[in-house]
Amino acid sequence: MTTDLVKTLADLKEKEVIKIVESRLSAGEDPFKILDDARSGVEIVGKRFAEGDYFIPDLIYAGEILKIITDMIKPNLMKKVEVKRLGKVIMGTVAGDIHDIGKNIVVFMLDVNGFEVLDLGIDVPAQKFVDTIKETGSKIVGMSGFLTLAFQSMKDTVEAIKKAGLRDEVKIMIGGGQIDEEVRIFSGADAYGKDAMEAVKLAKGWIGG
Amino acid sequence: MVKKWEEMTAEEKQDAQFQKLLIPKDHEGNNLKFQSPEAEANYKAAITRLKDAIQLRKTPDRVPVTIFPGMYPFIYSGMNLHEAMYDYDRCVAGFKKFVLDFKPDVHFGAAAPGPGKFYEILDYKLYVWPGHGVSPQSIYQCIEGEYMGAEEYDLLITDPSFYFRNFYLPRVFGALIPWSMLPPLTGILEMYGVAFSFIPYGLPPVQSAYKALFEAGAEALKWAMAVGGVDIELATMGFPQILGGFTKAPFDTLGDTLRGTKGIMVDMYRRPDKLLEALDKITPIMINMGLGAAKQTGKPFIFMPLHKGADGFLSDNQFKTFYWPHLKKVILGLIEGGCIPFPAAEGSFNTRLEYLKELPKGKTVWMFDQTDLAKVKALLGDTICIFGNVPSVMLQLGTPQQVKDYCKKLIDDVGQGGGFIMANGAFFDEAKPENVKAMVDFTKEYGVYK
């Protein structure tokens, strides 16, 4: 059995991952170190996805394995984890649209890659995005949408942000099944990404990392 | 001598189906009376054009053109989607206006919005719809979830109908919760004990579930009369409705509304054998679903929206293990039964095209969205009929000139020698009318084969 958590998780070997975590915990190892390794493993999953070696099921499965590890480690944590974050990203599926598979994958990959993600959920009104920018000072907003009617909601949301005088404070990225450069121009967003790793790349480009 | 249906080859069955489409019937089963000789000529020309494009035996007179929209016809006709779902007369009137204004060769009927009140009667929990979880301006959308538990595979595999009635349906229809109290039908065997199987039907909750069911049935029938009526009316005016029903790829059947996206994706790793067993079990059910619908409606086109087989959603290895074998069986089963499978490769299918080579020639129509159609033509031009793929974004945000340029390229690259139907690539709700019009009119003008 391999003892390398990073590699074993990157290879999506769930049962072996659990064994490694169990033995490291019972050896009294610092749980933060284990969590760090787990995150590094999932980062490799993301890289493999970006390179075309992994696909959506691999990302989802990696997320499930990470959840199990977190649940195993939780009882061993004396205090809440204070992970150093690259910055805050607001995410949500725009008004009128409840599709969230794509959005959830983006949230997961941003989180694993060191961002603090404020997930507003689905069918999010423009004002909610505006309020959250004000409350949190987040510098990045990600909008997701699957339906053709989402194009208009994205545009409305960008307008609302502009009206609130916050347009220059934030970078806005959009994504979803039909989203392309034409929709980006229509909506007034700064960029669009075709998948979760592009969202990570955009976010890192905007606020360092 | 005329061969019996059962004795015909798949080829002969398909020919017979087209022949049947050419002579449409009215409500009473008599030959349909067209409103004018011109309408009759248009109707028959449209069917023949479609037949030639699909069978790949000869080049049609021109590239067929149609529109397969989502909720666009109703938005175009000036109603919100709540109205389209609750006011059946308005719904079909709006649809009629859409067909008569744009004049596609064939259409796919006004069934898309569905009967709003029917969903309410049964307390449908699987979707939100306009005015019922989303705004009246939005459209109905599925609520993702695990409606079938990971531990329930054996239940499903042992008796799918029992599983559906007693477990799945009570979870997605609030009014059918009492169905979980019903005993299996296969326990009804002999005089002794037969009455036991019927005791639950005497219980008040079960009786109220059936009361809701009868009410829902009556509502569905009312809606179907409106939707079917406009099909016949449009047929008399020269516009055939060709859709016979729908079925799904077994992986999507399980993954869309039973296990959910996350559930089925994780199952590929955690319980691949159970998943495969369930897919095997569902495959003949999906074939019969299509064949049954075609028989009921008298129309051979069986639509198959493909979801989780798209590029990126599965690795090649996963696609060829979990998706393609069962999808292929369903397609072949439908062909064997004289149907014309009409899969829609939602998203893109660029990495899956090699598999489609395994299909028989001239038996299927494939709707494509973001797939490279020039590549499809080169690889599969002698196997399948290609349907698509004017982008939703272009229809909504582009200009008529952009649409025309795009259609010209499609006709030049993909239309060559036939085997191509011009249409939109994905279901759209919003578009500029002048763009939709440009797609139809330009194809009718430029798409004539010389």
- Assign residue B193 a region: left if phi > 0, alpha if psi is -120 to 50, beta otherwise? left
Cα–Cα distances (Å) from B200 to B159, B169, B184, B215, in that order, read 20, 17, 11, 20
Domain with A66 in it: what CATH number?
Answer: 1.10.1240.10
pTM of the model: 0.94
Binned at pLDDT 50, 70 and 90, residue B142 comes out as: very high
**pLDDT per residue as tens digits for the range B312-329:** 999 999 999 999 999 999
SS3 for B108?
coil
Q: Which residues of B fall within a CB distance of 8 Å from A64?
A: 262, 266
Rounded Cα distance between B128 and A199, Å, is: 28
Q: Does A52 touch chain B (CB under 8 A)?
A: no
Q: Residue A119 falls within a domain, yes or no?
A: yes
Q: Which residue type does B415 have? A: G
Contact A186 B397 (CB under 8 A): yes
Rounded Cα distance between B414 and B344, Å, is: 17
Contact A57 B128 (CB under 8 A): no
**pLDDT per residue as tens digits for the range B64-96:** 999 999 999 999 999 999 999 999 999 999 999
User: Taking 90 as the threshold, does the pLDDT of residue B284 lie above it?
Assistant: yes
Rounded Cα distance between B325 and B323, Å, is: 6
Q: Are residues A50 and A93 in the same domain?
A: no
Interface of B with A in 399-428 (CB under 8 A): 426, 428
Question: Structurally, how many domains does chain B consist of?
Answer: 1
Q: Are residues A144 and A114 in the same domain?
A: yes
Share of chain B above pLDDT 70, in %: 100
To test the contact with chain A by mutation, choose from B127, B138, B435 the residue with the greatest count of A C-beta atoms within 10 A, namely B138
Contact B141 A56 (CB under 8 A): no
Q: Residue B167 falls within a domain, yes or no?
A: no
Reference A165, options A130, A191, A203, A140; nearest CA is A130
Looking only at the bridges linking them, the beta strands covering B365-368 and B340-345 are parallel
A20: domain range?
5-76
User: Taking 50 as the threshold, does the pLDDT of residue B221 lie above it?
Assistant: yes
Binned at pLDDT 50, 70 and 90, residue B200 comes out as: very high
Interface of B with A in 240-269 (CB under 8 A): 261-262, 265-266, 268-269
Q: How many CB pairs under 8 A join A and B?
A: 86
B284, B286, B291, B295 alpha-carbon torsion, rounded to 10°: 130
Domain with A162 in it: what CATH number?
Answer: 3.40.50.280
Contact B261 A12 (CB under 8 A): no
Domain with B415 in it: what CATH number?
Answer: 3.20.20.210
Residue where a domain terminates, one of A76, A105, A126 = A76
| Closest partner CB to A148 (pick from B261, B314, B396) | B396
Q: Are residues A41 and A135 in the same domain?
A: no
Average pLDDT over residues B31-45: 96
Q: What is the mean pLDDT of chain A?
A: 92
Q: Does B348 touch chain A (CB under 8 A)?
A: no
Q: Are residues A72 and A93 in the same domain?
A: no
Name the residue with tokens 């199987």.
Answer: B197
User: Taking 90 as the threshold, does the pLDDT of residue B3 lie above it?
Assistant: no
Question: Structurally, how many domains does chain A consist of?
Answer: 2
Q: Are residues A102 and A188 in the same domain?
A: yes
CB B32 within 8 A of CB B26: yes
Residue A1's pLDDT is 46
Q: Are residues A102 and A134 in the same domain?
A: yes
B258: domain range?
5-114+225-446
Q: Which residue type does B126 have? A: L
Q: Residue A82 falls within a domain, yes or no?
A: no
Q: Residue B194 falls within a domain, yes or no?
A: no
Contact A149 B137 (CB under 8 A): yes
Q: Which residues of B fall within a CB distance of 8 Å from A100?
A: 144
Q: Residue A19 falls within a domain, yes or no?
A: yes
Q: Are residues A110 and A203 in the same domain?
A: yes
Q: Are residues A108 and A140 in the same domain?
A: yes
The two structure tokens encoding residue A177: 């099944």
Average pLDDT over residues B413-424: 97
Residue where a domain terminates, one of A76, A96, A112 = A76
Q: Are residues A56 and A23 in the same domain?
A: yes
Q: DSSP states of B191-213 as a string? A: TTTGGGGGGGGGSHHHHHHHHHH
Tell me which residues of chain A have a pLDDT lower than 70: 1-3, 78-83, 208-209
Looking only at the bridges linking them, the beta strands covering B141-142 and B127-130 are antiparallel
Share of chain B above pLDDT 90, in %: 96
Looking only at the bridges linking them, the beta strands covering B127-130 and B301-306 are unpaired
Contact A58 B139 (CB under 8 A): no
Q: Are residues A93 and A68 in the same domain?
A: no
Residue A82's pLDDT is 64
Q: Which residues, in sequence order, are CB contacts of B122 under 8 Å at separation 6+?
A: B173, B174, B175, B176, B212, B213, B216
Q: Residue A111 falls within a domain, yes or no?
A: yes
Q: Residue B431 falls within a domain, yes or no?
A: yes
Q: Residue B216 falls within a domain, yes or no?
A: no
Q: Are residues A19 and A110 in the same domain?
A: no
Q: What is the mean pLDDT of chain B?
A: 96
Q: Which residues of B fall within a CB distance of 8 Å from A123?
A: 134
User: Taking 90 as the threshold, does the pLDDT of residue B129 lie above it?
Assistant: yes
Nearest CA in chain B to A177: B347
Binned at pLDDT 50, 70 and 90, residue B178 comes out as: very high
Residue B181 is classified by DSSP as G
Q: Are residues A119 and A31 in the same domain?
A: no
Q: Which residues of B fall within a CB distance of 8 Å from A189?
A: none
The two structure tokens encoding residue A149: 């009617």
The two structure tokens encoding residue A182: 């034409």
Average pLDDT over residues B210-221: 98
- Residue A79 Cα, gap to closest chain B Cα (Å): 31
- Residue A58 Cα, gap to closest chain B Cα (Å): 8
